[in-house]
Amino acid sequence: MSRKLFTFNGGVHPDGHKAVSNATPIRAMSLLPHYVVPMRQHIGAPARPMVSIGDQVLRGQMIGAAEGYVSTAVHAPTSGRVVAIDARAVPHPSGLFDLAVVIEADGEDQALEFQPLDWRNLDPSALRNRIRDMGLAGLGGAVFPSFIKLNPGAQKIHTLILNGAECEPWITCDDRLMRERAAEIVRGIEVMRHALGCRTTLIGIEDNKPEALAAMRAAVPADMEVVSVPTLYPGGGGKQLTYTLTGVETPTGGRSTDVGIQVFNMGTAYSLYRSVELGEPLISRVVTVTGHVAQAGNFDVRIGTPLKDLLAAAGGALPGASGEIVGGPMMGFDLMDSAAPVTKAVNCLIVKNPKLFPTKPIELSCIRCGECARACPADLQPFEMYWYSRAKDFGRAQSYNLFDCIECGCCSFVCPSHIPLVDYFRFAKAEIWEREREKYSADQARIRHEFKTFRLEREKQEKADKFAKAAEKSREAAASGADVVADPDAEKKKAILQAALERAKKAKEAVTPKNTDNLPPMVQKEIDEIEARRSKVEGNTESQARHE
Ligand code: SF4
Ligand code: SF4
C-alpha cells in the first residue's frame, strides 16, 4: 500500500532544466596546482587554522579545528605545502573575502592513513565527536554541522527523513549521486539511525527522477521506505518535505526535531559513509556545472577547487555567457569572483546567458494582488513583510513571522510587479541580526560594568567590616583589661615608628645647648633665633590662655 501524502500550500512550477546536466555520470576532476580552503564553510564559528605557512600537509589532514560548539573541522584536499593563510575571495553573496589556507599541491596526493570506524560498537556520543573532527556538515545548502543534528539530546527522534527531492531547477548532483552510489548512501543512513536511535526511515525523492527512485529502491533494506513525491518547488524544503511525507507541521519558529523528526540531505549521507566506513574526512563533494557551458554535468570536486578551474573542467563557458550563479536560480546568488573556491555549501554553478536568464524587468509598485501570499509555502503574507521591510519598520516585519521565511523565492517568482521580495526579506533579516548583535554587545558591556561596580562595593564593605571587627575586639579587650591580641602588621608599624623616634631623638640631642659650645657661629645664630621665636610663641600662647 502506498503512503498517504500531504500537499503543502503554495509552491511554484519553474522549468526544471534537469536534463542539461543529469545524463552523464559523475566525473572526477584532475589535480590542480593550488587549492584555497576557507575556514568558514559551515554555519557557526569558523574553524581555527592549525597549520603555518611552509608546513607540509597530507590529504585529509586537519588544517582547521572546530572552534566552539557550533563549528566543524576543515581538512587538506590534497598533499602539498601551505603557501598562504590570508583573506581570499569566497562564494558568498556579499562578495567579501574570508580567511583561507592556500595549499600548493605537490602532485603526489598522498593521504593520511585513514582509520575506518567500527561504528556499530561505538557509543553514539563518541561517534558524534568523531564526525565533528571529520568536518561533516549538511551538503544540501544549509551546512549545519552534522554532529549537532545527529545529537537528539532530550528530544526523542522517532523518524529520519532523507531529502532526495532536489527541487531547485538546474541542480542534479543528488540525482546522479543516488543513481550511482545508492548502496553507499544507504550505509550512511544506517550510521544516522544508530546515532539518532531511531528506526523509521523515509526517503523522499521527487517524481521527476525515476532513475534515482529505482536505484534507491533497489538498495534499501526492508525497514527503509523510498517515497516518490510530486515535483513542486520548494518540495525539498525541510518543513515542506516533512509535511508532504508525514502530514506533521513544524511549529512556527521551530524545527522538525520539535516534532521528533530529523531531516538530512542525500549528499550528507554519502559523505557520512565515507567518513565513518572509510575514515576519510569531508574533502570533496559532487557539484553540478550547467547552463551556458560546453560540457554540462556533475563533478566530484575537492573542497578548495577554484570555481574558474571547475568551469574549465566542464569545457568553459560558451560565447555570450553573461555571468555565473552559485546554487540554484531560486535561492542562489551571482558569483562575484571566479577565484572563489568550492566549499561544502556549493552544490551548483550555473553559467548564464541573456536568453536563459533575461535581465530582470524594472520593479513596479505593489498592486496588492495577493499572488505572493498564494505562492508562499510558509503561509506568510509577503506583501506585508515587503511593505514593512522597505519602510525599515523591522519590528512590524518580524510580527508577520519574517523569520519563518525560507527564502525560497516563490513570491518573487510570481509577482506581476517584478518586486524582488526575497531580497527585501534578506535585507530585513540581516538588519535585525545586526541590531541584535549590537544589543547583545551593549548588554554584555553593561553587565560587565555592573559586576565591576558590585565587586568594588563588596570589597569596600568587606574592608569596612574587617576594621569594625578589629576595633570592636580592641574595645572589648580594653574593657576587660586583657592584653590586646597583637596584630602582626600593627606591631611591625609600631617598631618602624619607634626606630624613627629614636633617630629623631638622637638628632635633637645633637643640637641641644649642652653640645652647642663648639658650634659654628652661623649655626649658633640660627639656633638662637629659633629659640627666640619659640619663646615668643610660647609666651603668646600662655597669655592667650590666661586671657581666656
Ligand atoms: S505579488 Fe507583488 S504585486 Fe502582488 S501583492 Fe505580492 S508584492 Fe504586491
Ligand atoms: S521567500 Fe519567504 S515569503 Fe517568499 S514565498 Fe518563500 S517563504 Fe514565502
CA distances, 406 to each of 186, 379, 393, 397 (Å): 28, 11, 20, 15
Share of the chain above pLDDT 70, in %: 90
For domain 366-479, the question of CATH label 1.10.10 is answered with no
* Residue with CA nearest ligand 2 atom 7: 405
Q: Are strands 159-164 and 200-206 parallel, antiparallel or unpaired?
A: parallel
Q: What does the alpha-carbon distance between residue 297 and residue 20 come to, in Å, rounded to a whole number?
A: 8
Which of ligand 1's atoms lies nearest the C-alpha of 373?
A: 6
* Per-residue model confidence (pLDDT) at position 440: 84
The pLDDT tens digits of the residues spanning 253-262 come to 788 888 999 9
Which of ligand 1's atoms lies nearest the C-alpha of 364?
A: 3
Residue to substitute in 9, 379, 410 for testing ligand 2 pocket (most ligand atoms within 8 angstroms of CB) = 410
Among 129-133, 422-426, 505-509, the range scoring the smallest mean pLDDT is 505-509
Mean pLDDT of 53-79: 94
Of the candidates 265, 341, 264, 304, the one whose C-alpha atom is nearest the C-alpha of residue 60 is 304
Backbone angles phi, psi at 129, to 5 degrees: -60, -40
Share of the chain above pLDDT 90, in %: 66
Residue 436: pLDDT band with limits 50, 70, 90: confident
Q: What does the alpha-carbon distance between residue 416 and residue 97 come to, in Å, rounded to a whole number?
A: 36
Helix (H, G, I), strand (E, B) or coil at 542: helix
Q: CB–CB of 156/221 below 8 Å?
A: no
Of the candidates 4, 7, 11, 3, the one whose C-alpha atom is nearest the C-alpha of residue 378 is 11
Residue boundaries of the structural domains of the chain: 18-351, 366-479, 492-533
Mean pLDDT of 406-435: 94
Residue 527: pLDDT band with limits 50, 70, 90: low
Among 112-126, 147-161, 507-521, the range scoring the smallest mean pLDDT is 507-521
Query: 220: which 3 cell numbers?
Result: 534499501
- Sign of the CA dihedral running 411, 413, 414, 418: positive
Which of ligand 2's atoms lies nearest the C-alpha of 412?
A: 4
Class of the 18-351 domain? alpha beta
Write down the pTM of the prediction.
Answer: 0.80
* Ligand 2, CB cutoff 6 Å, lining residues: 375-376, 378, 380, 382, 405-411, 421-422, 425
Q: Is 315 in the pocket of ligand 1 (CB under 6 A)?
A: no
Mean pLDDT of 136-156: 85
Query: 182: which 3 cell numbers?
Result: 545508492
Q: What does the alpha-carbon distance between residue 515 and residue 509 come to, in Å, rounded to a whole number?
A: 8
- Sign of the CA dihedral running 333, 168, 30, 177: positive
* Residue with CA nearest ligand 2 atom 5: 376
Q: What is the 3-state secondary structure (H, E, C) of 58-124?
A: CECCEEEECCCCCCCCEECCCCEEEEEEEEEECCCCCCCEEEEEEEEECCCCCECCCCCCCHHHCCH
Mean pLDDT of 323-327: 96
Does residue 544 carry a pLDDT above 80?
no
Residue 511: pLDDT band with limits 50, 70, 90: low
Backbone angles phi, psi at 436, to 5 degrees: -60, -40
Q: What does the alpha-carbon distance between residue 366 and residue 264 come to, in Å, rounded to a whole number?
A: 37
- Give the up-direction half-sphere exposure of residue 426: CA atoms within 13 A in the CB hemisphere: 13
Residue-averaged pLDDT of the chain: 89
Q: What does the alpha-carbon distance between residue 332 and residue 289 come to, in Å, rounded to a whole number?
A: 14
Spell out the residues 6+ positions from residue 370 whose beta carbon is closer than 8 angstroms to its own.
383
Rounded to a whole number of angstroms, the CA Rg of the chain reads 38
* Per-residue model confidence (pLDDT) at position 310: 98
The pLDDT tens digits of the residues spanning 343-373 come to 999 999 999 999 999 998 999 999 999 999 9
Q: CB–CB of 52/27 below 8 Å?
A: no
Which of ligand 2's atoms lies nearest the C-alpha of 375?
A: 5
Mean pLDDT of 449-461: 88
Helix (H, G, I), strand (E, B) or coil at 38: strand
Helix (H, G, I), strand (E, B) or coil at 338: coil
Of the candidates 55, 53, 40, 43, the one whose C-alpha atom is nearest the C-alpha of residue 88 is 40
